[in-house]
Amino acid sequence: MLSTCWKTCLSGPQPAISGAARMAGFVFIIFYMNKIILEIRAGTGGDEAAIFAGDLGRMYQRYAANRGWKFLILDSSPGTIGGYKTFIAEISSSPSTGSGLTQSPYEDLRQESGVHRVQRIPKTEKSGRVHTSTASVAILPIVEAKEVQINQGDLEVTFSRAGGPGGQNVNKVETAVRILHKPTGIVVGSREERSQHSNRERAMDVLRAKLYEIQQEQSVGKVSEIRREQVGNADRSEKIRTYNFPEDRITDHRIGKKFHNIEKILEGDMDKIVEAFRK
């Protein structure tokens, strides 16, 4: 499922165009509405931030399962005592999936981009004190290869065994792929597929999505504006949503709505939040 948008689309619903990109007045976009990259990064809060990032990853994974979508973990960096420092996945749907709600992961989840804040008593907290931690979420549409020009000479590709770090030697068991885009310093990877070729393709999807984002930033003359618009720098004060466990309440600060039963929502029951952004 492709989405193509010209300036004339600006008068109608525009899931593909961010606030910063709208300022350019003219945007041409081709991307897969039914295929996105989910990127979660632990922010402030140390080990608890990594655990919270893991909670968010599980929430999106279970929501995707509820919708009948495919959820593929591409790369991750585990936290010291659980959760993830970074978590990157691909979410995709087919045109025939879904009922009632939209069939587009991008349409459903684009509002998840930003800094999520959690307030709770960590399991490691002995004095019963509530801690505040954050994790940032980015939702990036996967774009067509022709939309982003990548010079193969700008890439440094390394391979390793999927179970751990390795060197640059290529052999049948070294299926994990990590790609450095030297001009930007962006590093992407994939280790979940069984073949080296498949992992490279997945990693290139992530790289294209990130480079496309940069292209959109440059198109409006505001480098990093779209990224900051989505996730900020994961500081506590930049939150878009707060998960308050002592009061069993989730507050979305952009629309001023509150949702209860945190545990159920973190188990993937996100329908009320998704629907709130359609009103």
pLDDT at site 220: 52
**Across residues 137-165, what is the average pLDDT?**
81
How high is the pLDDT of residue 240? Answer: 96
Q: What is the pLDDT of residues 197-216, one digit of tens each?
A: 888 888 998 998 888 888 77
Give me the CATH code for the 34-146+220-273 domain, please. 3.30.70.1660
172 pLDDT tier (thresholds 50, 70, 90): low
User: Which residue ranges make up each domain of the chain?
Assistant: 34-146+220-273, 148-219
Q: Flag whether pLDDT at 28 surpasses 70.
A: no
Residue 123 token pair: 């399991």
| pTM score of the predicted model | 0.73
* CA 210 to each of CA 27, 217, 230: distance values in angstroms, whole numbers, following the listed order: 17, 11, 13
Domain 148-219 sits in CATH at: 3.30.160.20
Mean local confidence (pLDDT), 72-86 = 93
Residue 90 near residue 119, CB atoms below 8 Å = no
86-100, 137-151, 176-190, range with the lowest pLDDT: 86-100
* Share of residues in the chain with pLDDT > 90 (%): 48
Which one-letter DSSP state was computed for residue 114?
E
Query: Where residue 264 falls among pLDDT bands split at 50, 70, 90?
Result: very high
Distance CA 31, CA 39 (A): 17
pLDDT category of residue 237 using cuts at 50, 70 and 90:
low
Q: What's the confidence (pLDDT) of residue 230? A: 52
Token pair, residue 53, equals 């990032």
- Please, is 187 exposed, middle or buried when counting C-beta atoms within 10 Å of its C-beta (0-12, 13-18, 19+)? middle
**Is pLDDT of 221 > 80?**
no
Residues 6 or more apart from 177 whose CB is under 8 A from it?
A: 157, 158, 159, 189, 190, 191, 196, 199, 200, 202, 203
- pLDDT tens digits along 41-69: 999 999 999 999 999 999 999 999 999 99
